[in-house]
Structure 1
Amino acid sequence: MLNYIHADLHRILRRVPRIVILLLVIVIANIATINTVTSGQENSIGFMSHIPSLISVTGAFFGVVEIMSVFADDFRAKTMQVAIGLGISRRHVVLAKAIEYAVLILLDTAVLGVTVIADSAVAGIGLNGDDIYQIVIRVFLAVINALIPALFTMIPIFYLQGTGLAAILFLVFYIDPLAQIFSFFLSTNEFVIRMRLGEIVYSSLINAVNTSLTLHTHFPLVQLLGLAVYVVAGYLLTVLAFNKRELEF
């Protein structure tokens, strides 16, 4: 499986269209950050207030680009069928794709994080150690924030053996539709409030983890376990869908 992951990452990282798109997203994000900060003559507090929305928006672009990249050549070249024919189980194929995706998102967001820190120097804003720590936390949580919707997007990808609706489905899952329903339609519902359902959607868990870690209040073990449940559920459902699909060799 490790050889499969290595070969996939080697292929993906060398794809010129992917590199161009990601560089364009990062350049635009950095220009927007510098322009917003300098025009508003903001200090480090103002600068840091832009980081959550910046990482969230760019995360959506990174997520779409990488999920298409991970599956770009597989269905056309039937590389998954070849891997299965060589003895790699279907569950390991799904796991490999999830690992590849997480690694790519981490690389993308880490590059963004480094350039954002450089932006602060360009704008003449000094960030302290705690500010950089908060950016690092945001980078790692961005991986989870993209991985969970990606796993649920992989369910139809593996079942249908195609990426036709992948980008749209990823964006739908990325905005956490359950959280949107609770927020806009059921925010005053007594059952939802009593059962605290709004707190168990994955976006709320991510926000709770970020708050706990950045404010140094406590270690958010329960919330992290909740996020792990989402990851495992997405993985298992994808494996189930893939196992039910007949492949053409």
Structure 2
Amino acid sequence: MKNLIFADVKRILRKPSYWIVLAICLLISFFWTLGAKRNGTVSGLTFATNQGTAINTMNLFIGIAIYVSVYADEFSSNSMQCLIGRGISRKRLLIAKFINCVIITFISYGIYALFITLTGLIMGADMNMSESSFLYSTILTNAFLILGYATISMIILFWSKNVAYATLVDAFLLFAGDTLLSGLNMIPVIKFWHIDRHVFSHALACAKVDLLLTGGTAIFTLLWHVAKICIISIILAYLLFRKKELDF
């Protein structure tokens, strides 16, 4: 499985489309900072707030790019059938794909974090500890959000074998997941019992607040929410995928 993971990550990192999308996201982030520049400088608060907002746009673009590169390409090129035909079990394939998604997601957001750090230094954004904590915890939370939504969408892909449908689900979750949850939160029972706090995106947001207020121990709560949704999604995807016949 190690060779499979290494080869797949290498394949993704060689894709021009992946780097083009990432470059577009970095440009969006850069121009967002330029728009907030006043009198030749950017305050630390403005820089952290603007980048925290700009990352929402990045999530949509890079999230879809990661999902398509890691999961959908195998079905589009019919290489999934070849891998299974060569004796790789479906369980190992699913786990390898998930690990690939983790690696590519954190490579992407690691590059983004490095880029905005350098941008902040160039622009003279002197962030204090609280502003830096807010910015980097936002990046970490959004990386986990992308990972979780991609894993949820994996269920649809391995169940339906329809790349377009599964990609649409991932895009919908990235674009309108919070909006849908806000609508559900208007239901009295959900609002009264605060059920929304246990739904993935809001659970991550609450964990991020705990991380900022209480320190490093809250990172385990953040990891728990991500692990929970990923484990459930992988199990469901495997149970559905193992019953599917693939055409060769």
* TM-score category of the 2 structures, normalised to the smaller one: 0.7 to 0.9
Distance 1:224 1:73 in 2: 28
CA distance in 2, matches of 1:236, 1:216: 33
Number of residue pairs aligned between Structure 1 and Structure 2: 247
**Aligned position for 1:244:** 243
In structure 1, distance between residues paired with 2:89 and 2:235: 14
What residue in structure 2 maps to residue 235 of structure 1?
Answer: 234
What residue in structure 1 maps to residue 8 of structure 2? Answer: 8
Note if 1:201 corresponds to 2:199: yes
- Name the amino acid aligned to 2:243: K
CA separation of 1:44 and 1:69: change in aligned 2, threshold 3 A: same
Measured against aligned partners, the alpha-carbon deviations of 1:187-229 in whole angstroms (never above 9, x if no partner) come to: 360x223332111111111111211212335733455423322
CA distance, structure 1, for counterparts of residue 195 and residue 175 of structure 2: 17
- What aligned pairs does 1:179-198 form with structure 2 within 5 A after superposition? 179-187=178-186, 189=188, 191-198=189-196
- Code of the aligned partner of 2:83: A
Amino acid at match of 1:206: L
Per-residue displacement from partner, 1:55-96 (whole Å, max 9, x unpaired)?
222022111011111245422443222322333221221111
Query: Where do residues 206-221 of structure 1 align in structure 2 (5 Å cutoff)?
Result: 206-216=204-214, 219-220=217-218, 221=220
Q: Is it true that 1:86 corresponds to 2:86 in the alignment? A: yes
Q: Deviations over 1:86-140 (max 9, x none)?
A: 3322122111112212211211111111111122222222134554444333332
Structure 1 segments, 4+ long, off by >6 Å, are none
Instruction: Give the corresponding residue for 1:69.
Output: 69
Secondary structure class of the residue paired with 1:58: helix
Q: Give the 3 Å change call, closer, same or farther, for CA 182–88 of structure 1 in structure 2.
A: same
Q: How does 1:1-249 map to 2 (within 5 A)?
A: 1-38=1-38, 42-71=42-71, 73-175=73-175, 177=177, 179-187=178-186, 189=188, 191-216=189-214, 219-220=217-218, 221-222=220-221, 224-249=223-248
Structure 1 residues 104 and 48: CA distance shift in structure 2, 3 A: same
Q: CA deviation at 1:14?
A: 0.7
Q: CA deviation at 1:152?
A: 1.6
In structure 2, relative to structure 1, the CA distance for the partners of 1:183 and 1:121 (3 Å cut) is: same
Question: What is the letter of the counterpart of residue 227 of structure 2?
Answer: A
Q: Structure 1 stretch 94-103 or stretch 222-231: which is displaced more?
A: 222-231
Task: State the distance in 2 between where 1:243 and 1:93 align.
Answer: 11
Q: Which secondary structure does the structure 2 equivalent of 1:187 belong to? A: coil
The answer (yes or no) to whether the contact 1:4–1:83 under 8 Å persists in 2 is no
Query: Does the CA-based 8 Å contact 1:59-1:142 persist in structure 2?
Result: yes
TM-score (norm. length: structure 2)? 0.87
Aligned-pair identity in percent equals: 22
1:79 corresponds to which letter in structure 2? S
Measured against aligned partners, the alpha-carbon deviations of 1:155-201 in whole angstroms (never above 9, x if no partner) come to 22122323112332112122564x53452354360x22333211111
The alignment's C-alpha RMSD in Å is 2.5
User: 5+ unaligned residues in a row in structure 2: which ranges?
Assistant: none
Q: Give how far 1:11 is off.
A: 1.1
